[in-house]
Structure 1
């Protein structure tokens, strides 16, 4: 059954590949035009147009051309950055399309990428699979979730000849499906063509947008106040409050026009500098900059809100298998009812009961051999198949798949015998007899020896699977049991240590027996207190929600857990306003993964679990989960550092503009210079701060509440302190005779204005180094962010070029060496000023933390 290689090629040539055409992405030109439509750009263009129209021939041609070039460059660079971010997200999402499916070809079952499925293929569907195309069932019976197609959460039953659609998820059963539609021709493909997916804004981005609006309003008010202050100073104060002189000034149209134009230019300057139009996009920039690092650390972000929230985790409900252990299960031995131990299938083959052993281990199993490889089934099934090896087949009438609530699976053969495998506490008490070595059935009255042996295995972190058979589930014959070992991950202890050090409470939720779970928990470091609790599902059920709320800090393990236990724990912990993370891999984990604040699906898990999760941990490792937490914290801190940098410049500009007018200092920055400053603040600085490295020291901090405001006391202290100092330095530089005496005299103070512009930009460059670290050592960990060095190094070089080659466009006319040294020394003073602030905060015991 299934296509041959030749038929696959013919089908692909005729019907194409199983890929849905992606919705049209924003082109670079679209983003550029969108950027030129930015409100700030519109304000600048309107101001420029007014200036050109009113001044006619007297307007500054070079400045006008310079403004237009600066506007285009700012938009061009911003668009490149956004386009790069979108492409990075596109690459990230494509990682999720490389899922594999089981297909029958050339008479054998093999795994292929879903995009390689062709019309005519026969897919092998089982619990947990995501259907990748449309088709109809040839045989079998499955329950599927079609909610992605019709919005109905109710499961639909599919039997032979039933139509199954791509995008559905198999919850139960197994079946063979013949493919009749792929790619754009599937129902999902047609829906995707008609609909454009609208992704809701993440909470952090909403907060950033709100902060940007607040800052913008302050900027608009500041611009208005600065303009009014300038006009009041020019018209009223300069005329010594003389009514006649004031009237004369107002009636002098050319003079008033100059005052009004300057007031307009001043307000535009403040608005452009103060309005952080790039702030809401900062999170996208930070995430795209960290994508390669996250993927390298096996963290795949499916939903933006997941990585944002991961940094605030309070509790992590984690699986054992594959997360704390390697997930590479291995059968150590098979034990008969007479307590004889066999360590290989070759030893079992010599026994009279081998046929029954083989049926129990190999046929009551969802895994099967395809060539030399095992496909399908879970890790337990594959471990059993590897142990027992290949063999014959029997006519199976029906199958009952493993269910974590029942804790067993079974098959019924044509002769009426039921073969069952599962948890010891579920099966042993149903057994009335045991299978003796001579093939006879003997009374199974004394079970003490069996239970002791099982207990010795579980206390040594072994996992026991019990086998039985019979004509009825109430009168089974005990066949024996296997001891399965799953080696602890070498990184598990470190992962648990990091998670606990980050103030996160880890709780292991596993289907294993209490003894097994406790042994693993102790070994990995989950148990480190005297009054710890290891609860079984039954014991957990006896506790009320209020009792669990009181005891959750002591709970280390929940053993023999049911899916409902996971959902219940998530609900209880979230009701305490805790941020809860949940790991899962199976179909039954999906509800809890969806309910949790952050759902972590493991890479080897089912498609159902991955669909429900926010983050996929590609290597299943708890250490990678700790890295996801670290990246969540890093992203938040990077954004805060950027805000500190940007608002410090805003504070300086606002104070300088509003106060300066009353003391004879007007903002001596041209529109072109201001555009260059804005490009530094929004685009270049955004890129530089987005590459801030994930530092392990962040994992020593307690989790932040999810409703924490973006701004904190430390940020306010730096913004206000450094912003006021920079504004004061600018005023002193322009007014103090000592500085004027050190700068050459030129027409319209052109050298003083050049020096001032250079100092303002250099202060911004140097203060970026202050903003990126809370340490007094400004250059701590700087080597871990090479893009930061490159970006601000480029800005420094570009500024030097502008100083000496800007001419009339930038209104810069070159500085002599002594003038340049003076400017650099004054700009460098932001370092000791910030060191003093950090020292005072440290001495006063105030938390120095971004």
Structure 2
């Protein structure tokens, strides 16, 4: 098959590089309201030759920048990890000849050969007639079971062909592929300012305005008193240092670091300290299904057997049609062999049969076939596979009674509606006819503690939404068992892949009210998180695969679960080494305790700044005198040392998501600051009146 070269895009498979330089990243941590005040104070201290204050302020600046830089730099390898999933070479038809080329030389319009083991290097569409491929899309969807691809179906970069051969025409390469867009989404998600940074900047900006107002009052008073410029600069330095809590970032970082160390003991590795604050306020958890809500292990359920057939006979036949080699075992064969413990007669008989011939799963016939010999020497053909294909095998041999046929098909439909993956089982003994034995349903069951954990999450004010690459039926059944609600929809209804026609506000309502989405791709997850955030929610996202990296980076708290890929770990804020949802809920409780400590400290620190600023500013303006500048600096900077103990405070956790209630925070801080300022004024005035100038010589510089 040949395509005109002019119909191809000239854009090659290349990855765009959008990373800022390391130096620029580091410099950006010296930008911000609190940082600007600290830098101005450092310049003033240097001008006044106050080298002690200059050194302390510079040390705090470097400490804050270093901690923030280390946290952010860890995300720099995410795109590299995404690239690792791509193929290096591919076989392409060029001018009627099949040639091997580098993956970065592939362009849209090329025709690629696909066969067993091929890692697909670009997005495309199957063009071969009468073909059936089994493709592993776990790198994109996160689901381990292969999916079928036929003529006209789409294939995606980084997927792997398990079985089958076909040709595909390339439709997208590089940044235009699903994986490419995932990398672009990671870059886009990483460009924003974190929630905690916004809160600190807001506090710093407000305090900076108050400092400027106080300085204006002091400067005006000094102007009318003709105070010397050196004294004015010393007053300015003192008010600048005490007016903005220069130690706030360092102390808050230390508090979160202590909390992170505590979480590490619970097998939760915090990669970005500000994620602790975000997790405390999370209102919606978007969770993947496999491995987090479920065990990631297929298990068998109560089988349907045709009248006259015992469950042990069905189980024995199904296990005979399974590979016995450890390397050849797939998830389904493992599930059947492990479930033999519940069928003692089948288990005892299995080893007595001799396998003569075994044919692994055929994607065309949709069956596994084994020819075995019974202990009595009878030859038996055993098959298991897609229920309707197994049924057709029997029908081709002889007519099936109408009632058996109807019951069988109804059961297939019932199992499908309940989210089960069903396998039909049949056998042929000797020269006899094919016998239909029944249907064995299987599914990835919920973890034992998940239902209780979901209820606990609900009590903590946390809504759990499931986002999975599995089918809608499977997702609904899992949610039903967990009590999550069954408003599960196909992700195409979001309108994020061209399949929806809802308006923006309608989509937002739709996502907000849904209990989850099935058959999702990276863009669906990313946009679901983005839509929820646009409604003002703090959102956490769990994931383990390359497909989850964009949404993990976009979420307020990205959570990589047990067994996550390197790309997911790099994108996540917190990496869990323990499986299941319960570990996440435990970490959420701990994060709320840590938030309680931080909130209490911030209130205290703002109150202290207001206290010193109000008192000293008015004292200078009214009496033209100041406390000893070194004493002021000591109080302003080193008072934080004593409060480090708050990181170990036995604080409670709130029963609901916690946020920075800014009006309440400022209200408490202002009241405390005024009370402290008035108390200090009264105390010093009393001492001044009582002891006169003797006391003043001890206090004034």
Normalising by the smaller structure, the TM-score range is 0.5 to 0.7
Distance 1:296 1:77 in 2: 29
Whether 1:701 aligns to 2:676 is: no
Q: 1:516 to 1:483 in 2, by over 3 A?
A: farther
- Secondary structure, aligned partner of 1:604: coil
Aligned residues: 578
Q: 1:538 to 1:96 in 2, by over 3 A?
A: closer
Check the 8 A contact 1:286/1:635 in 2, yes or no.
Answer: yes
Distance 1:151 1:503 in 2: 50
1:212 aligned to which of 200, 204, 211: 204
- Tell me by how many angstroms 1:737 deviates: 5.2
- Tell me by how many angstroms 1:590 deviates: 6.5
- Secondary structure, aligned partner of 2:300: strand
Distance 1:584 1:636 in 2: 24
Whether 1:646 aligns to 2:605 is: yes
| Aligned match of 1:664 | 623
Distance 1:646 1:95 in 2: 37
Check the 8 A contact 2:606/2:669 in 1, yes or no.
Answer: yes
- Secondary structure, aligned partner of 1:563: coil
Q: 1:164 to 1:720 in 2, by over 3 A?
A: same
Give unpaired runs (5+ residues) of structure 2: 1-19, 92-101, 122-138, 141-156, 164-186, 341-349, 372-380, 428-433, 495-499
Distance 1:534 1:51 in 2: 67
- Secondary structure, aligned partner of 1:650: helix
Distance 1:680 1:735 in 2: 25
Distance 1:79 1:623 in 2: 38
Whether 1:684 aligns to 2:641 is: yes
Q: 1:575 to 1:725 in 2, by over 3 A?
A: closer
2:51 aligned to which of 55, 65, 68: 68
Whether 1:712 aligns to 2:662 is: yes
Distance 1:554 1:42 in 2: 48
- Secondary structure, aligned partner of 1:661: helix
Higher alpha-carbon deviation: 309-318 or 277-286: 277-286
- Secondary structure, aligned partner of 1:481: strand
Q: Spell out the pairing of 1:31-42 with structure 2 (5 A cutoff).
A: none
Q: 1:449 to 1:494 in 2, by over 3 A?
A: same
Q: 1:627 to 1:658 in 2, by over 3 A?
A: same
2:400 aligned to which of 428, 440, 443: 443
1:172 aligned to which of 129, 152, 159: 159
Check the 8 A contact 1:339/1:450 in 2, yes or no.
Answer: no
- Tell me by how many angstroms 1:604 deviates: 3.3
Check the 8 A contact 1:603/1:618 in 2, yes or no.
Answer: yes
Looking at both structures, which has the greater relative contact order when contacts are Cα pairs under 8 Å and sequence separation is at least 6? 2
1:604 aligned to which of 554, 558, 563: 563
Q: 1:590 to 1:455 in 2, by over 3 A?
A: farther
Q: 1:274 to 1:320 in 2, by over 3 A?
A: same
Distance 2:270 2:302 in 1: 40
- Tell me by how many angstroms 1:730 deviates: 1.8
Distance 1:694 1:156 in 2: 63
| Aligned match of 1:749 | 697
Q: 1:624 to 1:640 in 2, by over 3 A?
A: same
Check the 8 A contact 1:396/1:413 in 2, yes or no.
Answer: yes
Give unpaired runs (5+ residues) of structure 1: 1-22, 53-66, 100-128, 139-145, 177-194, 236-249, 251-255, 401-408, 471-475, 705-709, 754-810, 812-850
* Cα distance per residue 1:22-81 (max 9 Å; x no partner): x9999xxx99x99xxx876776676566667xxxxxxxxxxxxxx534544565577568
| Aligned match of 2:221 | 229
Q: 1:616 to 1:601 in 2, by over 3 A?
A: same
- Tell me by how many angstroms 1:225 deviates: 2.0
| Aligned match of 1:288 | 257
- Tell me by how many angstroms 1:517 deviates: 4.8
* Cα distance per residue 1:710-734 (max 9 Å; x no partner): 5622212222111112211222222
TM-score (norm 1): 0.52
* Cα distance per residue 1:204-228 (max 9 Å; x no partner): 3144234324422432342242233
* Cα distance per residue 1:3-33 (max 9 Å; x no partner): xxxxxxxxxxxxxxxxxxxx9999xxx99x9
- Tell me by how many angstroms 1:265 deviates: 1.3
- Tell me by how many angstroms 1:484 deviates: 3.8
| Aligned match of 1:625 | 584
* Cα distance per residue 1:453-501 (max 9 Å; x no partner): 6799899x9944324799xxxxx99775334476654542442233212
Higher alpha-carbon deviation: 534-543 or 571-580: 534-543
Q: 1:608 to 1:304 in 2, by over 3 A?
A: same
| Aligned match of 2:97 | none
| Aligned match of 1:495 | 453
Distance 1:605 1:576 in 2: 29
* Cα distance per residue 1:344-394 (max 9 Å; x no partner): 99x62xx5x865x22xxx49xxxx735xxx99x6x6575356558998986
Distance 2:308 2:533 in 1: 47
Check the 8 A contact 1:585/1:601 in 2, yes or no.
Answer: yes
- Secondary structure, aligned partner of 1:290: helix
- Secondary structure, aligned partner of 1:666: coil
- Tell me by how many angstroms 1:268 deviates: 1.0
